[in-house]
Amino acid sequence: MMAKAKTNERAAKAADRAPKSPRPASVTNDDIARRAYDFYLARGREPGHDVDDWLCAERELKEAARSSVV
């Protein structure tokens, strides 16, 4: 019984020292809104493209997050 406890303890210590795998970067709605607003400003504050800006920002940020994890 004592040997099993020591083995589990050593395994737990080794797991603590092991490098952690990076967590996938998550993209929040606030991140998307900020980037969409950047598109709006770059276009000269022309209204009527809010959905397009949102979708482009979302796609761009999620692709960047995916590529930074690999």
**Is 42 a domain residue?**
yes
**Is 15 a domain residue?**
no
pTM higher than 0.75 for the full model? Answer: no
**Is 39 a domain residue?**
yes
Q: Which amino acid is at 27?
A: V
Condensed to tens digits (0 to 9), the pLDDT of residues 25-68 reads 699 999 999 999 999 999 999 999 999 999 999 999 999 999 98
Provide the domain limits for residue 52.
33-70
**Which alpha helices (H) appear in the chain, and where do they start and end?**
2-17, 29-42, 50-69
> What pLDDT is stored for residue 53 in this prediction?
98
> What pLDDT is stored for residue 9 in this prediction?
65
**Is 6 a domain residue?**
no
Rounded distance between C-alpha atoms, residue 61 and residue 8, angstroms: 42
Give how many domains the chain has, as a whole number: 1
Q: Of 21, 28, 23, 22, nearest to 62 (Cα)? A: 28
**Is 25 a domain residue?**
no
Rounded distance between C-alpha atoms, residue 28 and residue 35, angstroms: 11
